[in-house]
Structure 1
Amino acid sequence: MQAQDIIYPTDAGLYCAPGDFFIDPLVPVARALITHGHADHARAGHGAVLATRQTLEIMAIRYGEDFTAARQVAEGKVRIGGVTVEFYPAGHVLGSAQILVTPDNGPRILVSGDYCRTPNPVCAPWEPVPCDVFITEATFGLPVFRHPDPMGEASRLLASMAEFPDRPHLVGAYALGKAQRVIALARAAGHTGPIAIHGALKRLCDYHIEQGIDLGELVSASDPGDARLILAPPSAFASPWVQRFRDPVLSYASSWMTVRARARQRGVELPLVISDHVDWPQLTSTITELAPQEVWITHGAEDGLLRWCELAGIAARPLRLVGYEDEPE
């Protein structure tokens, strides 16, 4: 059985024929396997969902307990139709996983979802999984994207707070994963005071704390008190909410801050290059390390990675799945 007969792209997303299921489907389907809880990968309304326990709990937080008719925690090897599936940590956000699909007679196919190899204090680290076909994103699949040490970026944030003690520092970070990572990095860099969070971040921050992740003292951004570091979803910066803070230092944590023109367009004074995705060196080194026979690219900067694979003598093809965001802004 050929790989392209086992898993292939459809209008509804990536479909596994011998298992009759979709992986991170773009619309409600009868059976879905979900890599992680970001909204462009984890949608409500599926008949049945298989995912890690933490991803299922995050989906319940976001969509309500009745987000699916049936749910199953992915533990060990799970048999579905004519394939066996296994979930491995992806290092992206809490609960994120890579999904290995192994048919009875055919190649081992690894669907990586979104993944990151840089150590992340708020989720389990990425694990290498041997495979014949590696299905990868290419969100930052260009040589310009080379992520600095996240601790160095956190130190830059604290240095700015020391330089401008009378100005609140507002950091834009999406609610699942990035906000908690920025908080944890700030703590590791030496910030011991309270950190204020926008209301949209509270429930997921609470969930991380429930999972044993220490985020220190968190207070509401509606009443920040002495807190001089405030986190909010990036969308809040375009709303009247931001006007309650006098002369703030606007910051944004994203790999897109590598592109300084984007920072200027958004009025970001302190760009922080902190990403939960692989950068170009990590992307190419992952392919080299796993040494798959084929590389399939779901979305992102496909052309750059296709050219690299061609030069490296690795068979590659784009899937051009529409509906996944690059790193959310």
Structure 2
Amino acid sequence: MAPRASWIEAHPTGIYLPTADAWIDPAVPVDRAIITHGHADHARGGHRAVLATRETLAIMDCRYGPQPGQAIGYGETIRLGDVDLRLVPAGHVLGSAQAVLERGGERVVVSGDYKRRPDPTCAPFEPVSCDVFVTEATFALPVFRHPPIGGEIDRLLAVREAQPERAVLIGAYALGKAQRVIAELRRHGYDAPIFIHGAMQRLCDLYRELGVDLGELRPVADLKPAELAGRIVLAPPSALNDRWSRRLPDPVTAMASGWMRVRQRARQRGVEMPLVISDHADWDELTGTISEIAPGEVWVTHGREDALVHWCRQRQIPARELALVGREDEDD
């Protein structure tokens, strides 16, 4: 039997389609890049041509300057050499997409990063049946089972209510996580201004330009330190313990990340209130997605590749690790 998807090559720097002369999420600049979403470990600058959703191109423009790109709408099909490319939602962040590739009657889905939980800031994941499914494995261990986000937001608001003399400082990744936390706070009835670190301003503004309502956001510098008591403040994780955070009045330090399931990580970062909020699929969602899609073969990228490959093989699903380089944990 011929190997599945022999027309696709997996290199350490990305997935290559020789007959289309295109790379998917390459780690180095290339002539033609298909980009699944705007996080920096998938979307790098310097490509001669970029194919992505309108939102992902806008995010790349915001981060790297104008990109030589072609916007592809969800569900639209374009021809690259002898390969048909279609983008469908991945549910990860705004504009995130799975690359659905078809050639010679064979279909491969490169999912990029994805999650299965509802998210008011992006389109939900769309399962697509395929011969080969390329999946991430960021949280591919049974210990990672993310709780409902509503309960985490309720805990956050309860702490703020119980300790009004303290600011609530939330560490959140600047693209996707921060906007999701803000949108969920709004859904839970928090309509007061939310204060943000300057590093988050451009991306929050871009989300609003692209139609995502985040309510009133204000720079932390708008208020004197004492006036931030009882306020909710969002900042990049790197700002939680630096000089910038010292201007806040005795803050409750929180961190929104799937890694907050690991208590040692929370302690190492000095996090008083771990919030298990992730933009990646957890163990049950990874395995459930594979079961739902029922691919003939699974290729596994960054994370705990070995555990997910083992799970597949136990169920007689052929699986292998791709060992791509340059992939990072946006949640960290």
TM-score range, shorter chain: over 0.9
Q: Does the alignment pair 1:320 with 2:319?
A: no
AA partner of residue 71 (structure 1): G
1:265 offset after TM fit, Å?
Answer: 0.8
1:11-40 Cα distance to aligned partner (Å, 9 max, x none):
431111221110000000011000000000
Superposed counterparts of 1:173-252, under 5 Å = 173-224=172-223, 225=227, 228-252=231-255
Q: Summarize the alignment of residues 1-329 of structure 1 with structure 2, pairs less than 5 Å apart.
A: 2-65=3-66, 67=67, 70-75=68-73, 76-103=76-103, 105-224=104-223, 225=227, 228-329=231-332
RMSD over aligned Cα atoms: 1.2
Which amino acid is the alignment partner of residue 10 of structure 1? H
- Larger mean Cα displacement after TM superposition, 146-155 or 2-11: 2-11
2:8 corresponds to which letter in structure 1? I
Answer yes or no: is the 8 Å Cα contact 2:146–2:278 preserved in 1: yes
Give the residue type in structure 1 aligned to 2:109.
L
- Range with greater deviation from structure 2 (56-65 or 217-226): 217-226
Residue 2 of structure 1, CA deviation: 4.2
- Superposed CA offset, 1:284-303 (max 9, x none): 00000000000000110011
Q: Which runs of 5+ in 2 are unaligned?
A: none
**Contact 1:2/1:106 (8 A) holds in 2:** no
Shift of 1:106: 4.6
Q: Distance in 1 between matches of 2:217 and 2:6?
A: 50
Runs of 4+ residues over 6 Å off in structure 1:
none
Question: Which AA in structure 1 matches 2:183?
Answer: A
The 3-state SS of whatever aligns with 1:101 is strand
- SS of the aligned residue for 2:94 comes to coil
Q: Give CA-to-partner distance per residue, 1:72-106, whole Å, 9 cap, x none.
A: 11131110011000000000000000001101x15
Q: Separation in 2 of the partners of 1:313 and 1:99?
A: 25
**8 Å CA contact retained: 1:22, 1:32:** yes
- Report the AA paired with residue 85 of structure 1: L
| TM-superposed deviation, 1:264 | 0.7
The farther-off stretch of 208-217 and 16-25 is 208-217
DSSP-derived class of the 2:106 partner: coil
- Which 5+ residue runs of structure 1 have no aligned equivalent? none
* Residue type at the aligned position of 1:215: L
Offset of residue 246 of structure 1: 2.2
1: CA distance, partners of 2:236 / 2:255: 9
Cα distance in 2 for partners of 1:259, 1:307 equals: 22
Q: How far off its partner does 1:4 sit? A: 4.6
Identity %: 58
Select between 12-21 and 146-155 the one with higher mean Cα deviation. 12-21
Contact 1:141–1:302 at 8 Å: present in 2 too?
A: yes
- Alpha-carbon contact 1:132-1:293 (below 8 Å) kept: yes
Q: Which amino acid is 1:132 matched to? A: D
- Contact kept, 8 Å, 1:139 with 1:327, in 2: the verdict is no
Q: Which moved more, 1:131-140 or 1:12-21?
A: 12-21
CA distance in 1, matches of 2:27, 2:58: 20
